[in-house]
Structure 1
């Protein structure tokens, strides 16, 4: 009997030690942020000291991509490690009353990590569906806790809302004829409309409490922070309003950076900073139509809504003191690679489905070349008829189709806003190593072998792509839009909100 007790005691100790040694993960996801928007990526007037500090002490990616130039599909791919076409998150994005959402049979990175005993939380923008009775909310997709707006904060009338103190109304009108944006706590509405001036304060307090609770419980944790900054309309509280030389966009970016700083401070205070991998990137390129109220793609072509580089190449930073050595990598990488990388580091099993991501461990820990040699560019509205619009192979990118977008109108480059779909045969070909702005088409016969190689890669990939049923095509039922008051109008009085759990 004594021997059995000793065995059980050792087993408990071993399990506790194994649990304590697992790395924590913090995934930071900006909204509509351009490649050239951060100070550490070259912007002269953005004040992002905390993200710059992560870049200086971590690994900065020059060639990191997302899978879509708009929000919902990009977020689906990030969380599942699969192209959005497989899960049916196309065409476009979800709205407050959308019938569909991220299918529950898709496995998110939160569900992968929960299998290893992780505490999981999301704070911020979900945008992967609400659905009947909240069936598609994060708490049904592997997250223990949620605080946030379940879709874009412009998907509701905002002209009467305050975006900057003391009483500066939001710039623009946002979507009309739908409910004002709610702030959800798990699956209950905490406030409607959300208070933009206090939003980041609530988010940082939620994130700190989640980290504190996990550490106190000796539990590894995964915190996903998909910020609303710097999506239109910009907003910022009293601590950041008017503090950036870049105007409202700069203030919003600075406030996001401030929340990152508070998360870092909590990790340091709880003594887990050296056991936490922090990964930062964004969901798609900047909304150039907003001009100074939108982002900046730097030297890249076009922005949000397009399959040019400015629409889908994002700033990215990996930070893990003592494990990731500071530097810059030109390794090709994608948001698809986050799930397999986190799974590998946590010792978790991968989902038994077709994954499109690669494990980035060798890039992060050893600065080795990437296993990934290709990036496939899907448009906002992909179809089996057209397939991928462009393919990057090593340093070369071939455009089979190009199309501008309203999101990217307002620049002097007509390619960014020209809406007709253009078919290119032979494809446009660019060397992104020498020409990241996609200025100079390599249209001579000497590049035929490169185009043949890319064509073979494209055909092989498309033969393996099975399009899932479109969740967004399931339509909209306005009765599904979250609202505090039954039978509410587009401007609900939120007097019967359920208290936060």
Structure 2
């Protein structure tokens, strides 16, 4: 039977009342570069489970996040909207931030809840804590949560053990705030967190959630935003010293091992053939950390920049019997995950401006993408400057370029923070198929074909920016040290919070 017809029949079956709706497992790495996985060409990364997903699933070569830093990228993933609409900009949220992902934004979990889905998040939230935990996952459609509500370097870490038996964390992280807490739903269970046991706790929580949901025959959505491989890297006894790539490789191996545990649980509970597993990352590698900061492969620069190294990510879709093995060069984005999930289950879309498109045709037929463009905002988007870059088809135009502290230490002079903001008129244009490294700007003079492409890009940019309504900046609301979560509210000074 033709695979496309078989896929259509499968989709038709689970769209009927008598069939079980599909489950969704969304895996989101942290600061992982385009070239960091074995299946994306890294010679020494040990990622057997992700490599297995890539071999048996669909691997993307042109998949984008929406921001080269954490919080705004996560907001877009969960809402299908550019971070400028929700107000999760500029930069990222902190332990004492007054703002967070606005509660009137609709997450993937909230799209699925009316259809009877069990929902859980485990790992790094980083979309706000707020007064009385008002921005936590349990307020945004998730039934259960286990994790750190922000980045795990947002606390004093010189006294924490990152690797056994007693190897202290590399660097000093943030000082003057509370030690890193581990939350179960809205209650602090441990502070400071035990890094050596953290991943095991995450794996146990996630596998238990899958097992319980499968026993109840309840469809489920598991969102696992990992701390790996963000600095400072850490790994428990099962992974520390087991990779060829040092601390970064050990952390990546630990992430891969948890993914292997989730896959084994899906198989054991008999739901793997009815589950879409999707893996990607929030932004590019933090090159300033050198060998401990990740690798963008052939792409230019990394975290903090609007070059492709900052925003083009590894991505893998796996669904046995529905997604056939292969590689797609179609353009897609984290923005597209919400409308795709909604389309697969017939869920009602949020009644707001969505920037994502349904990529079911790519997934089940390896067909064409509905996405023709990708917009590139800097870490501090503004109406004054608008888009820094825009990709249309295989062409990318840079209207502004700027380096970033996160992408320091590289030999490319365009990447570090010393590469100050520069306007380009006409914009720098690159053919990303011929030159994915964005090394060689295309000559526009004497090329009416490229000039026509540039006019199209300018028209698309003008139309998009006219439609963009910037939400109130959540991060500009500032911080209040008293909002930082602490298991002992009376502890003084706050960084000496108790172990709960």
Q: CA–CA distance in 2 between the matches of 1:17 and 1:333?
A: 28
Matched residue, 2:4: none
Q: CA–CA distance in 2 between the matches of 1:304 and 1:400?
A: 19
Tell me if the contact between 1:147 and 1:206 (Cα under 8 Å) persists in the aligned partners: yes
The aligned runs of 1:188-203 (5 Å cut-off) are 188-203=187-202
Tell me if the contact between 1:485 and 1:492 (Cα under 8 Å) persists in the aligned partners: no
Q: CA–CA distance in 2 between the matches of 1:444 and 1:204?
A: 53
Matched residue, 1:472: 475
1:102 has 2:101 as partner: yes
Matched residue, 1:421: 421
Matched residue, 1:449: 452
Q: CA–CA distance in 2 between the matches of 1:174 and 1:157?
A: 6
Matched residue, 2:278: 279
Tell me if the contact between 2:376 and 2:390 (Cα under 8 Å) persists in the aligned partners: yes
SS of match in other structure, 1:22: coil
SS of match in other structure, 1:120: strand
Deviations 1:226-263 (A, max 9, x none): 00000000000001100111000000000000000000
SS of match in other structure, 1:310: helix
Matched residue, 2:40: 41
Q: CA–CA distance in 2 between the matches of 1:298 and 1:463?
A: 35
**CA deviation after TM superposition for structure 1 residue 130, in Å:** 0.3
Matched residue, 1:302: 301
Q: 1:192 to 1:20 in 2, by over 3 A?
A: farther
**CA deviation after TM superposition for structure 1 residue 419, in Å:** 4.2
Aligned residues: 483
SS of match in other structure, 2:98: coil
**CA deviation after TM superposition for structure 1 residue 448, in Å:** 1.0
Matched residue, 2:3: none
The aligned runs of 1:49-128 (5 Å cut-off) are 49-128=48-127
**CA deviation after TM superposition for structure 1 residue 115, in Å:** 1.3
Matched residue, 1:490: 494
Tell me if the contact between 1:69 and 1:380 (Cα under 8 Å) persists in the aligned partners: yes
Matched residue, 1:433: 433
Q: CA–CA distance in 2 between the matches of 1:490 and 1:293?
A: 30
Gapped regions of structure 2 (runs ≥ 5): 1-12
Tell me if the contact between 1:20 and 1:219 (Cα under 8 Å) persists in the aligned partners: no
**CA deviation after TM superposition for structure 1 residue 17, in Å:** 8.0
Deviations 1:361-410 (A, max 9, x none): 00000110101000000000000000010000000000000000000000
**CA deviation after TM superposition for structure 1 residue 216, in Å:** 1.4
Q: CA–CA distance in 1 between the matches of 2:14 and 2:68?
A: 43
Structure 1 outlier segments of 4+, above 2 Å? 14-20, 487-495
Matched residue, 2:375: 376
1:462 has 2:465 as partner: yes
Q: CA–CA distance in 2 between the matches of 1:111 and 1:295?
A: 33
**CA deviation after TM superposition for structure 1 residue 490, in Å:** 3.4
The aligned runs of 1:91-490 (5 Å cut-off) are 91-417=90-416, 418-445=418-445, 446=447, 447-488=450-491, 489-490=493-494
SS of match in other structure, 1:123: strand
**CA deviation after TM superposition for structure 1 residue 492, in Å:** 3.1
Matched residue, 2:9: none
**CA deviation after TM superposition for structure 1 residue 15, in Å:** 12
Matched residue, 1:5: none
Q: 1:16 to 1:216 in 2, by over 3 A?
A: farther
Q: 1:113 to 1:176 in 2, by over 3 A?
A: same
Q: CA–CA distance in 1 between the matches of 2:16 and 2:167?
A: 52
SS of match in other structure, 1:213: helix
Q: CA RMSD in A?
A: 1.3
Deviations 1:162-193 (A, max 9, x none): 00000000000000000011000000001001
Tell me if the contact between 1:19 and 1:220 (Cα under 8 Å) persists in the aligned partners: no
SS of match in other structure, 2:465: helix
TM-score norm. by structure 1 comes to: 0.95
Deviations 1:77-112 (A, max 9, x none): 000000000000000000000000000000000000
Tell me if the contact between 1:20 and 1:220 (Cα under 8 Å) persists in the aligned partners: no
Q: 1:16 to 1:321 in 2, by over 3 A?
A: closer
TM-score norm. by structure 2 comes to: 0.95
Tell me if the contact between 2:413 and 2:419 (Cα under 8 Å) persists in the aligned partners: no
